[in-house]
Amino acid sequence: MDIHNDENIKMYFYENRLKTFEGWPFDEDCECNAENMAKAGFIHTPSKTSPDVAMCFFCLKELEGWQPEDDPVEEHKSHSSSCTFITLKKKVEELTVKEFFNLQKEQCKFVVNKSCNEAVTKFEEAAKLRKAAIIRTAMGEE
């Protein structure tokens, strides 16, 4: 994920996050409606098997299994307490250039962390497969 591209920068703004919630399974009578989800920093990232997956565009935390009474801000804070975006005291439009760049720096940390975790997971899975192959070879099964 390139956090410096125009699409990512657009997600700082509520209206652009809200546009991602086309097909969101919860209506305006629910606490976790599209408007409240977008206000909490989420974008809609559904899959074929999980239509209610939402991810914070900033900290990249994905949540699913939403219930109509779930408060998106509280859920976001409880699952990603280190997300700087959800704790902003100002609207994005009110940030100084310096504050915005500091916010971008914080987002870089989330992106790098997620990327590293994915690489480690991929490596560990490959290592398990390789270990199993070595054991099969040692046991004369191949």
Longest CA span, the chain: 68
Q: Is pLDDT at 2 greater than 60 in this prediction? A: no
Tell whether 74 is covered by a domain.
yes
For residue 29, the model assigns a pLDDT of 92
Tell whether 43 is covered by a domain.
yes
The total of structural domains in the chain comes to 1
Per-residue pLDDT tens over the stretch 113-122: 999 999 999 9
DSSP string, 98-139: HHHHHHHHHHHHHHHHHHHHHHHHHHHHHHHHHHHHHHHHHT
Per-residue pLDDT tens over the stretch 61-90: 999 999 999 999 999 999 999 999 999 988
Tell whether 25 is covered by a domain.
yes
For residue 85, the model assigns a pLDDT of 94
Tell whether 114 is covered by a domain.
yes
Residue 14 to residue 37: CA distance in whole angstroms = 10
Q: Which percentage of the chain shows pLDDT scores above 90? A: 80
Q: What is the mean pLDDT of the chain?
A: 92
Tell whether 128 is covered by a domain.
yes
Q: For position 120, which CATH number holds?
A: 1.10.1170.10
Tell whether 1 is covered by a domain.
no
**pTM: predicted TM-score of the whole model, two decimal places:** 0.79
Per-residue pLDDT tens over the stretch 121-139: 999 999 999 999 999 998 8
Tell whether 96 is covered by a domain.
yes
- Residue 55: give the domain boundaries: 6-138
For residue 126, the model assigns a pLDDT of 95
Residue 134 to residue 110: CA distance in whole angstroms = 36
